[in-house]
Structure 1
Amino acid sequence: MKLEGVKVLDLSLFLPGPMLTLMMADHGADVIKVEPAGEGEPSRHIGYVKNGASVWFRNTHRGKRSIQLDLKSEDGKALFWALAKEADVVVEAFRPGVVDRLGVGYEAVRAVNPGIVYCSISAFGQDGPNRDRPAHDLAVEALAGVIALNEGQDGKPASPHMPVADALASLTALSGVLMALLRRQTTGVGDYLDVAMLDSLLAWTPNVTGKIFATGEPHTPKHERSWGGSAMFQLYECADGQWIALGGSEVKFARNLLDSLGRLDLLPYAELQPGPGQYPLRDFYRETFRTRTRAEWETWFEGKDVCFAPVRNLKEGFEDPAVAARGMLAFDAEGNEVVGTPIRFREEPGVVDPAIPELDADRGQITKHGWALPRST
């Protein structure tokens, strides 16, 4: 696998860091999860449990080894240093400054391991005026202005459906870590990576910053293409209270749909800029889609060149045979659901190891052998 032989020491908790190291583990990296004293990784105890383990923990920590360290103790630090001297990557997600106060920050690790790639993930980065401000995903999205874009039918902001600040920070960190490992092959020297959730979120706004950068004015979400201003990029309720989505605002899709509905006379509305000018077409769709159930519309749309989809719940999404066909849902020997890896190589594909470590389960092996015996042996 692509990352075979890469040794990762993961001090992070919750979601961004663990997802980063999960993707590395899926592709061959040996990941040792350093869990804090007490109850260990918080996600072991959060949310729904199946067969004795948190579903969240199972799908962020499978395929890793676990050791519990108190980094404030001499014994804990001694074992950390034994591992850090041989590691390729260290990932941490404490508040800025914590690892330095503990004596295990980048400068200290680099002094004994110049090749280390050290990644810090935080809400707002290691510098700047918000450096010490506490925040999880929701607060970061709110400060970035993204929550305000998630405006519901009632005109009020709604809580986000996915932790996109967490997710984008994780993917940004993965990209940076891999860049640094690639560069190290030439220089022999590692680097320090400062990833902020806010930075990662704002970096993914090029397609929605047009109005604020061009006019200096904030958006009115319901008038914008992505959030309700386009009749062809919109959610519509069906006769049974279920919903469907039209997800392609190109005029060709509107032409195909309106032709099938016998209303090509409405096509000029689809050619207008998103906003109030398209509302007559949106109103027509609202009336039309209320005349049949979601299932009936699914049948009706078959074979038509229109960006259409039923609005499913997450359970329905995972039950789609296409998800299993792509390897994004599998089951372990006990029947626990395991989410697959999205990074698909033709050669050396990733391998999803469904096993999860018990808290501190690998202490004896790691204490005795260090990195010598990876979990896969």
Structure 2
Amino acid sequence: MKLDGVKVLDLSLFLPGPMLTLMMADHGADVIKIEPVGEGEPSRHIGLSTNGQTVWFRNTHRGKRSVQLDLKSAQGQAAFWTLAKEADVLVEAFRPGVVDRLGVGYEAVKAVNPGIVYCSISAFGQTGPYRDRPAHDLAVEALAGLVALNEGQDGKPAMPGLMAADALASLTALSGVLMALYRRTQTGLGDHLDVAMLDSLMAWTPNATGPVFAQDRANVPKAERSWGGAAMFNLYECRDGRWIVLGGSEVKFAAALLEALGRSDLLDHARQPPGPGQEPLRVFFRETFITRTQAEWEAWFEGRDICFAPVRTLKEAFADPAVAARGMIWRDAAGNAVVGTPLLFRQEPGRPDPKAPGLDEHAGQVWRTLS
């Protein structure tokens, strides 16, 4: 597999770091999860469980090895340094300054292992005025302006449906780690990667920054393309209380839809910029889609070249045969559902290991290997 032979120490907790190292483990990396003494990784105890493990933990730690270490003790420190000297990658997600106080910061590790790729993930980065501010995903999304963009039809911000700050920080970190590993093949030297959740969110706003950069004003979400200003990029309620979306605002899709509905006379509204000029078209769609059930509209749209989708629950999404066909859901030996890997290589495909480790399960194995 692509990452065979790469050794990773994962000191991170919760979601961004563990997802980064999960993707590496799926493609051959040997990931040793360094868990705090006591209850270990917090996600072992958060949310629903099946067969003695939480779904969250199983889907972020399968295929890894678990070792508990107390980095404040002499014994824990000695064990850490034994591992760090042979590692290729180290991932940590403490608040800035914590690893230095523990004596395991980048400079200390680099001194004994110059090739280490040391990845620090935090809410606001290792520098800057927010450096020491505590935050999880929601607070970071709020400070990034994204919660305000997630405005409901009542004009009030709504809770985000995805931990976007966690997700984008994880993917940013994965990209940086792989870049640093590639560069190391040329220089022999590692690097320190400083990934901030806030930075990772801000980097993904090009489609939203028009009003900010061009007109020095705040967004008006319901008047803009991505959040309801475009009739062909919008949510519509059906007769049974369920919803559908139109998800492509290109004029060709509007022309195909309006012709099929017998209202080509409304096409000029689809050519208007997002906002009030498209309101007559939005009204027509609201009045039209409320006349049939979601299932009836699914059948009606079948075979038509129009961007359409039913609004599903997550349960319905994972039950879709298309998701299974892409390998995005499978079962471990005990029958537990496990999310697959989205990285599909033709050569050397990933081979995700469905088994998640017990707490400190691999301590003996790891120490025997290093002795």
Indicate the TM-score class for this superposition, using the shorter chain for normalisation: over 0.9
1:164 aligns with 2:164: yes
1:304 aligns with 2:299: no
1:313 and 1:167 map into 2 onto residues whose CA distance is 20
1:34 and 1:130 map into 2 onto residues whose CA distance is 27
1:239 and 1:97 map into 2 onto residues whose CA distance is 55
Alignment of 1:195-234 (within 5 A): 195-234=195-234
Q: Could you report, residue by residue, the CA deviation over 1:191-227 in whole angstroms, capped at 9, with x for unpaired residues?
A: 0000000000000001111111000010111000000
* TM-score, scaled relative to structure 2: 0.99
Cα RMSD (Å): 0.6
- Give the match for residue 141 of structure 2: 141
- TM-superposed CA distance for 1:273, in Å, is 0.3
3-state DSSP of counterpart to 1:366: helix
1:86 aligns with 2:103: no
- TM-superposed CA distance for 1:301, in Å, is 0.4
Q: Could you report, residue by residue, the CA deviation over 1:220-268 in whole angstroms, capped at 9, with x for unpaired residues?
A: 1100000010000000000000000000000110000000000000001
| Structure 1: gaps spanning 5 or more residues | 373-377
- Give the match for residue 33 of structure 1: 33
1:355 and 1:313 map into 2 onto residues whose CA distance is 27
1:191 aligns with 2:191: yes
- Give the match for residue 115 of structure 1: 115
Q: Could you report, residue by residue, the CA deviation over 1:272-325 in whole angstroms, capped at 9, with x for unpaired residues?
A: 000011001000000000000000000000111110000000000000001010
3-state DSSP of counterpart to 1:291: coil
3-state DSSP of counterpart to 1:31: strand
Alignment of 1:177-188 (within 5 A): 177-188=177-188
Aligned amino acid, residue 268 of structure 2: P
Aligned amino acid, residue 147 of structure 1: V
2:131 and 2:23 map into 1 onto residues whose CA distance is 27
- TM-superposed CA distance for 1:10, in Å, is 0.3
- Give the match for residue 266 of structure 1: 266
2:26 and 2:333 map into 1 onto residues whose CA distance is 18
1:186 and 1:112 map into 2 onto residues whose CA distance is 20
1:54 and 1:271 map into 2 onto residues whose CA distance is 49
1:16 aligns with 2:16: yes
Aligned amino acid, residue 309 of structure 2: A
Q: How many residues align?
A: 371
1:335 and 1:364 map into 2 onto residues whose CA distance is 28
3-state DSSP of counterpart to 2:350: coil
| Structure 2: gaps spanning 5 or more residues | none
3-state DSSP of counterpart to 1:9: strand
- TM-superposed CA distance for 1:368, in Å, is 2.1
The list of structure 1 runs, each at least 4 consecutive aligned residues, that deviate by more than 2 angstroms after superposition, is none
**Aligned sequence identity (%):** 76
- Give the match for residue 338 of structure 2: 338
- Give the match for residue 275 of structure 1: 275
3-state DSSP of counterpart to 1:33: strand
Alignment of 1:29-68 (within 5 A): 29-68=29-68
